[in-house]
Amino acid sequence: KITHAPSAAEALTLMEKHPFELVITMLNIGDIDAAELARTIKTKHPEQPIIVLSPAPAHKSIKRLKKESVDTVDYIFTWQGNPNILLAMVKLVEDRMNTEDDVRTGDVQVIILVEDSVRYYSTYLPMIYTSLIQQARFIMTEGLNDWSQTQRMRGRPKILLARTYEEAIELYEKYKRNTL
């Protein structure tokens, strides 16, 4: 379910009333900037995943946001006209949250994408996730019940995004036995 808030103030009010699994904010939201909104949210909800969506890959605020919001914004994406970016954003957050448990309990495989360019990973991830989900659906047989189909979809390889060399090495060391 997607809930829209026309302003940062209204988004914060909604968050006080209801829990949300993910916050996606545009780079320019009017009354305050995305970095300030992320800081405010993380103060009250430190585990809340936050993604900033930029209208263009060359937007001047992206560089500033990447430096200022390292601890508050989980991911920055750029809109490039592909609606599958929403799938990629949701799945990336889900994968980050579920990988450790899925590897431990289900021996699920891991793909580590190493890329520091917002523009490039905003292009790659929608393509990779679309392909993985199509492959997972393809291998499902008609005889499977809903529970079995859900288990197979959960068993698809998880994608982890590393934006630095150090982050990539850390993820590799943690999941090297399951890295594709």
pLDDT of residue 69: 62
pLDDT in tens, 31-75: 788 888 999 999 999 999 999 998 876 666 666 666 666 678 899
**For residues 102 and 156, what is the distance between their CA atoms, to the nearest angstrom?**
10
Q: For the residues of 79-125, what is the DSSP string, one character each?
A: --S-THHHHHHHHHHHHHHHHHHHHHHH---EEEEE---HHHHHHHH
Average pLDDT, the chain: 86
**For residues 92 and 84, what is the distance between their CA atoms, to the nearest angstrom?**
12
**For residues 160 and 67, what is the distance between their CA atoms, to the nearest angstrom?**
21
Instruction: Name the token pair of 133.
Output: 């989900």
Using an 8 Å Cβ cutoff, are 103 and 175 in contact? yes
Helical H segments across the chain, by residue range: 8-17, 34-44, 60-68, 84-106, 118-139, 146-154, 165-175
Banded pLDDT at 153 (limits 50, 70, 90): low
pLDDT of residue 59: 61
**For residues 80 and 122, what is the distance between their CA atoms, to the nearest angstrom?**
8
pLDDT of residue 177: 96
